Structures are given as C-alpha cells and as structure tokens.
C-alpha cells in the first residue's frame, strides 16, 4: 500500500513529540550549516538579476545592439533554465543532490566567463544560454536538498534561506553596479557579469563538505549511511528515528536501490481526488508567483524609476540599492517568523500587500504620465510602491512557493515537486 504521508503530516507528528517534552530543543547547527551551503547556490541567480538590471544599459551602448536584442538577451535565461530544470530531476536521482549543486555552480562559472569576455552579441548569447541552464539546476535542487535535510520544526526557516540569499545577492549586485558604473563602458559591464565566477568557484568547493541528502541515500538502499546523516541533521534521536521510518515507509512499495520515480507520472496524469487538489494548489501558486512578474520588476527597475522622473544615473542606482535593502530585510523577517506564524497567513499578507502596492504604482504612473510638471510626491509614491511590491513579494509568493509545493505532496511521490520547479521555469 502506498504511503500518503507528507511533510505536513511529519510536522504534526513532530509537534506531538515536542509537546510531550517541556524542554526546548536547541537549533541543530549541522542542518543549519548544510542548508546555508546549499542555499549559497542561489547567490549566483541573485547576482545575475542584480547586475543585469544595470549592465544591459552599458551592453546596449557598447555592443550597439537593439532594444529587441536586449529583451531576448535578458529573457533567454528563463527559457534556457527550463533545460536545466528538465535535466535536473533525472540527473539528481542518478548522481545525487550534492553533485547537482556543484554542477550548477560549474555551469554558472563557465557562462559568467563567456559573458564577461564576450567580443560580440552572439558570444554574449552563448554565455547567457549556459548561465540559464545553471539557473535551472540551481532553482530546482537547492530548496529540495534543504527540505530533505531539515528537521521539521525549522524547515520553514531553512527552506526560506535560498530566497534570502537571492535577495542578499541582488542587493550586492546593485552595489557592484554603483561601484563599477563610472568605469569605461567596454569594461564595467564585463566586470559586472564576470564577477559571478568568483562565488561560483567558492560554492563548488564548499559544497564538497556537505553530506548527501538522506532521501537520495535511502533511495540507493544505503540505510545505515542515511541513518548517520539523519542523526546529525535532526534535533533529537527520536526525530531521527521518525524521519528514517517515514522515508523508508514512503519508498517501501519499490526497491530502494533501483527506484527511479516509477509511477509518478501515472499519478500526476491520473490523480486521485486528494492529489488533484494538491496539484491545483501547487500549479496555481507557481503560476501566480510568475504572473506577478517580480523578476521583470527587478530587472527593469532603473527604467521604471527613469520613467517616473529620476534621470541621474547615480541616483537611479542609489534608489535601486534602497529597494534591494527593503526586499532583503522583509525576506529575513519572513525567515525568522515563518515557522511560528504559518505559511498561509504570510502568503495572504504578501499577496494583499502586492495588490495594494501595484494599484498605487499604477495610479501614480498614470498621474505622472498626464502631468506637465512631475510633482515630488507623485515620484515618491511610485518609488515607495515599487519598494512595497518587491518587499511583500519577499514575505509571500517569493519564498513560500518553494517549500509549500514540497510540503503538501505525499512523501512517496516527493519527486513530483521537481515538475513544479520545471513549471516555474515555463511560467
């Protein structure tokens, strides 16, 4: 009989165990270190988003390319990430989660060097394609590895770390833009894009110190090895035994040593009524996260601010840095309070805040478009509305989408969540 246990069910059992003991269990430092190392892979994506918002302006001037070519260059990373996402599920089952993180960092390293040294637009696009593939690998594997090594009581905190690192690296990208903006136009954008090679090298070496995911180890039939990892990444021996039992039970209908996700597509295409509701929720939250167009807001923030009346280049980068600070701060707040407040309340708060912010931005933009003189209060309204939109995204749809999709599925078909990270790339 197939197990229908999900991460949320495990959370309930874990809560019952804790309620029987008044002693507060300290934070598991080993699982925290593993989650941080896995999440550093997200630095690569955040850096690309941060520097690209400004680098494209210098690229356009230096390589003399059209606006359409700029749009293709910026948007191609989302299309190419689908390649990495499609390949990551099968590949991670073959070689393990940890090696996929290393592969993502290596791919990003090669792509960054190709873009930084690009003599032409065609060469630049080749590097962008390679970077996109690395992004696809990174977006899929980091949250999954983190969820698989995290204790239940702090899974929300640890699984939100990739989003925290993305926001921190976006902010650092803005700062690099500010620091490099005054260099010659044929040099500054190359440094902006090429500097991503440095963290990629560091991440690749650091990840070698991480243990493999206990899920993958059990799928390969190495129970004793998985038990050792679970004892290190759990907050107590009782929880380690519980997690081991549930993972074994989840895969008991197959042979762990050669299981490769058989039956997952059958259940996905012909779901039962409970699974159908889960699919609707998972596909819906991933779709609406992308429909919110937060990535587009971040990529084109300087152009938005320029349109509302901020024309000084240093000033544009300055207000963009402030936006990065606001976005990162809200993401950290979410990570600290998510496990206590809950997923749904934070998701509702973030979504409602985004709606109000975008309405304010639309009204302010319409007023400025029709006004002969641009009053400071209207400009300030638009800037604050953009800040609010990205900040509410950082406590709602941004991070929660990642682990909500992984938590609501039955553990036996946990690899089904790979498909929704692929759907994310498509959207």
Three-point CA angle 204, 43, 37, nearest 5°: 50
pLDDT in tens, 322-345: 777 888 888 788 777 777 777 788
Instruction: Identify whether the C-beta of residue 238 lies closer than 8 Å to the C-beta of residue 155.
Output: no
Strand partners, 410: 6
Per the confidence metrics, is the pTM higher than 0.75?
A: no
Lowest mean pLDDT among 104-113, 124-133, 169-178: 169-178
Dihedral-angle region of residue 293 (phi above 0 means left; psi in -120 to 50 means alpha; beta otherwise): left
Rg (C-alpha) for the chain, rounded Å, is: 22
Instruction: Please report which confidence band the pLDDT of residue 192 belongs to, taking 50, 70 and 90 as the band edges.
Output: confident
**pLDDT tens digits along 9-28:** 545 544 444 444 445 556 77
Paired residues of 6 in beta bridges: 410
CA proximity to 32, closest of 167, 163, 154: 154
Q: Are 406 and 417 in contact (CB under 8 A)?
A: yes
Give the pLDDT of residue 21: 44
Q: How is residue 342 written in tokens? A: 């809950």
CB neighbour list of residue 138: distance below 8 Å, 6 or more residues apart: 41, 42, 44, 45, 84, 101, 104, 105, 108
Find which of 36-50, 101-115, 154-168 is predicted with most confidence, using mean pLDDT: 101-115
Distance CA 108, CA 113 (A): 9
pLDDT band for position 416 (cuts 50, 70, 90) = very low
Place of tokens 């630095």: 43
Look at residues 245, 219, 186, 174 and name the one whose alpha carbon lies nearest to residue 387: 174
- Side-chain half-sphere exposure of 321, counting CA atoms within 13 A: 14
Residue 403 CA to residue 414 CA, distance in Å, equals 12
Q: How far apart are CA 104 and CA 131, in angstroms?
A: 9
Confidence label for 252 from pLDDT (cuts 50, 70 and 90): low
Closest CA to 14 of 282, 407, 400: 407
Predicted confidence at residue 126, as pLDDT, reads 92
User: What pLDDT was estimated at residue 424?
Assistant: 43
Mean pLDDT of 187-216: 83
Residue owning tokens 């210098």:
58
CB atoms within 10 A of CB 329: 15
Number of residues that this document lists for the chain: 427
* C-alpha dist (Å) from residue 72 to 44, 75, 358: 20, 5, 26
7 confidence band (pLDDT: 50, 70, 90): very low
Q: How far apart are CA 229 and CA 143, in angstroms?
A: 18
């Amino acid at each position: 009989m197939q197990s229908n246990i999900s991460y949320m069910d495990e959370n309930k059992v874990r809560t019952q165990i804790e309620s029987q003991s008044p002693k507060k269990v300290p934070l598991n430092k080993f699982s925290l270190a593993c989650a941080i190392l896995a999440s550093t892979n997200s630095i690569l994506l955040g850096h690309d988003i941060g520097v690209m918002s400004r680098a494209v302006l210098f690229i356009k001037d230096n390589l003399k390319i059209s606006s359409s070519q700029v749009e293709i260059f910026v948007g191609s990373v989302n299309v190419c990430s689908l390649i990495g996402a499609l390949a990551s599920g099968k590949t991670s089952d073959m070689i393990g989660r940890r090696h996929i993180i290393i592969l993502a960092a290596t791919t990003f390293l090669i792509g960054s060097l190709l873009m930084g040294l690009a003599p032409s637009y065609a060469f630049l696009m080749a590097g962008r394609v390679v970077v996109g593939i690395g992004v696809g690998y990174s977006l899929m594997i980091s949250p999954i590895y983190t969820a698989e090594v995290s204790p239940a009581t702090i899974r929300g905190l640890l699984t939100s770390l990739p989003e925290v690192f993305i926001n921190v690296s976006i902010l650092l990208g803005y700062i690099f833009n500010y620091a490099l903006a005054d260099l010659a136009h044929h040099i500054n954008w190359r440094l902006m894009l090429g500097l991503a090679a440095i963290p990629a090298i560091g991440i690749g070496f650091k990840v070698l110190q991480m243990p493999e995911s206990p899920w993958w180890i059990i799928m390969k039939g190495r129970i004793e090895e998985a038990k050792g990892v679970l004892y290190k990444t759990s907050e107590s021996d009782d929880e380690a035994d519980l997690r081991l039992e549930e993972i074994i039970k989840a895969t008991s209908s197959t042979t762990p040593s050669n299981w490769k996700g058989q039956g997952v597509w059958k259940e996905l295409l012909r779901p039962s009524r409970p699974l159908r509701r889960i699919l609707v929720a998972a596909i819906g939250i991933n779709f609406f996260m992308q429909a919110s167009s937060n990535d587009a807001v971040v990529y084109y923030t300087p152009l938005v601010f320029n349109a509302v009346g901020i024309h000084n280049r240093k000033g544009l980068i300055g207000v963009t840095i402030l936006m990065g600070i606001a976005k990162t701060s809200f993401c950290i707040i979410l990570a600290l309070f998510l496990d206590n407040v809950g997923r749904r309340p934070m998701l509702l708060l973030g979504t409602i805040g985004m709606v109000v912010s975008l309405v304010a931005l639309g009204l302010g933009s319409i007023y400025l478009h029709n006004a002969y003189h641009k009053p400071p209060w209207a400009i300030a309204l638009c800037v604050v509305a953009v800040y609010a939109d990205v900040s509410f995204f950082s406590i709602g749809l941004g991070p929660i989408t990642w682990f909500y999709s992984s938590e609501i599925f039955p553990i036996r078909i946990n690899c089904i969540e790979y498909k929704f990270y692929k759907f994310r790339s498509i959207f």
